[in-house]
Amino acid sequence: MIKIVVMDIDGVLTDGKVTFDSSGNEFKTIDYRDIDAIFELKRRGLKVGVITGESTSIAKVIRDRFQPDFFYSGCKDKAAALNEIRFQTKTTREEICFVGDGKYDVAAMKLAGLAVCPANAVPAVKAVANRQLKCAGGAGCLLELLEYIGEAEQP
């Protein structure tokens, strides 16, 4: 049974693209279905974690908006962060789901009991994923994950 869902931001929660205005301000979009899915995961009693390699104002906004139980920004060693979460929570790998899309996610995905990727993940991630979603990152993939977790836990 999954107790913790940990995700990357860029390419999972967002579509992995960034827009800059002429002043250098950064813009990213998040699908409302994914916003709702994060809050629904929490309502169902699951802990939520975010591990991102970026240390940007967007990452801080996501931290403040969603208030995940675990938040790591500027973290390129996602496996070490995931191990820290496991240690803090005394959970087994089978109780952790990691959602990633890029090369920095592979090692963490290998540590999770349920490794999930969006449809547009890089080939190396698809090769280690237990479940490849139909939705692309930033296009409702967390809602699809929520539905999958709910179905998997039905008796």
List residues bridging with 131 in a β-sheet.
116
Q: Could you tell me the pTM of the whole model?
A: 0.93
Q: What is the pLDDT of residues 40-51, one digit of tens each?
A: 999 999 999 999
- Tokens of residue 97, six digits: 């789901």
pLDDT for 155 beyond 90? no
Task: Give the percent of the chain with pLDDT over 90.
Answer: 88
Distance in angstroms (rounded) separating the CA atoms of residues 7 and 68: 10
Tokens encoding 146: 């929520």
pLDDT at residue number 150: 84
Domain ranges of the chain: 4-152
Predicted local distance difference test score (pLDDT) of residue 152: 63
Nearest in space to 33 (alpha carbons), one of 144, 120, 152: 144
- Output phi, psi for 107, to 5 deg: -60, -40
| Confidence (pLDDT) at 26 | 87
Is the Cβ–Cβ distance between 47 and 69 less than 8 Å?
Answer: yes
Under DSSP, is residue 69 helix (H, G, I), strand (E, B) or coil?
A: coil
**Contact, 49 vs 6, CB < 8 A?**
yes
What are 67-97's pLDDT values in tens digits? 999 999 999 999 999 999 999 999 999 999 9
- Give CATH superfamily name and number for 4-152: HAD superfamily/HAD-like (3.40.50.1000)
pLDDT at 25: 87
What's the pLDDT band for 153 if we cut at 50, 70, 90?
Answer: low
**What's the mean per-residue pLDDT of the chain?**
94
Give the model confidence (pLDDT) of 105-130 as tens digits.
Answer: 999 999 999 999 999 999 999 999 99
